[in-house]
Structures are given as structure tokens and as C-alpha cells.
Amino acid sequence: MNTTEMPVQTAQTLIKSTLAAGVLAAIMLTTVILPAEYNIDPTGIGSALGLTELNCQEQEIAAPEVEQRGEQSFAYRTDTTTIEVPAGRGIEYKFQLDKYGHLEYEWITESGELYFDFHGEPAGDTSGYFESFAIATSNKMSGSLTTPFDGSHGWYWKNNGQESVKITLKTKGFYEVIGLKQ
């Protein structure tokens, strides 16, 4: 029977190893961790390595208020409307907005999820082109849109369920309501 003996470290070796690890940890702390995480650079090595740029302080950015951006064709308005999407059918609800017009919106269904395509169609375009901003299936959505072009913008909702679904849509901004698109 062969027995392999493991060397036993002396107390002196363990103390040296512990001190070496502590010194290495202190060096790493002052040259790498403090500059990168806290923008504290006592040695100057962190800025030389570009580590101080890693700590970008988060700035609070306030949500912009809806305000007139240059000449607007439409008056500022706030609307709340209820739209019913029949079972197994789809509908479109649209707004007319200027280029760079701003629309804040929130919609929620009373029950059930709807497939939707939030999109815009450029004014005067006869090719059938449209640009989708969001396509998903959900029971609610909220946000804002700054339109990239003049034209009609809004939602196509499709109800794949067996019962009709009511949507409450709240909007505010500089727009004209087109409403249900036939």
C-alpha cells in the first residue's frame, strides 16, 4: 500500500502567504477598484489606465413636458376615448401629426390581450408604406412618440379572442384625431 504524504505548511509560510495576499489586495484596491468603482484615484494609475471614466455618475433626467416645438398645425389637446375591438377582428385608430410632433399616450384593455402594431403612414404617400414603432401582444401600453414625418400615426389592434375587448385610450399633444380608419 502506497501512501502519499501531503506536505504540511509551517506557520511561517502561512503568515508570508497571507501577508503577500493582503499586500496584493491593497494594491488592487488602490490602483483598480477605487478608481473604477468610486472615482477615487490615490496613485494616478487609474486615470492613466482610463479606469476613472468607468464610473459615470447617473444623472437624473427629467421627462420632457409636451410643449410646442416650432410651428405646429394643431392645437394642444388631451383626449380620453373608449374603443371596442370585436372578437376575431381588427381595427385602426389614427391621429394626424406634423413632422416632429409629440404624442403622449396610454391605453389599457378591460379584459384580454390584443395584438397591435403602433405605426405611422407618411402624408401623401400612395405606395402603402408605413413605419412600425412597436409590434406586440399586450393588454396595455404607454409612452410617447416624436413623429419622424408628417402623416397619420396610430394603432392597428387585432382581437384574436372569442369576446370583444374594450380599450381606454388617453392621449395628449399637438394632433388632430382621425379616429377609426375604415
Q: Mean pLDDT of all residues in the chain? A: 88
Binned at pLDDT 50, 70 and 90, residue 176 comes out as: very high
User: In the prediction, which pLDDT does 85 show?
Assistant: 96
Domain ranges in the chain?
A: 12-54, 76-181
Q: Is a pLDDT exceeding 80 seen at residue 63?
A: no
157, 119 in Cβ contact below 8 A? no
CATH topology for 76-181?
Jelly Rolls (2.60.120)
CA–CA distance, 86 with 5 (Å, rounded to integer): 81
Which pTM was predicted? 0.61
pLDDT in tens, 64-118: 554 445 577 888 999 999 999 999 999 999 999 999 999 999 999 998 899 999 9
* Side-chain half-sphere CA neighbours of 137 within 13 A: 8
User: In the prediction, which pLDDT does 68 show?
Assistant: 45
User: In the prediction, which pLDDT does 113 show?
Assistant: 94
97 burial (CB, 10 Å; 0-12 / 13-18 / 19+) is buried
Provide the residue type at 115 as one letter. Answer: Y
User: In the prediction, which pLDDT does 62 show?
Assistant: 58
Q: Is a pLDDT exceeding 90 seen at residue 169?
A: yes
User: In the prediction, which pLDDT does 122 show?
Assistant: 95
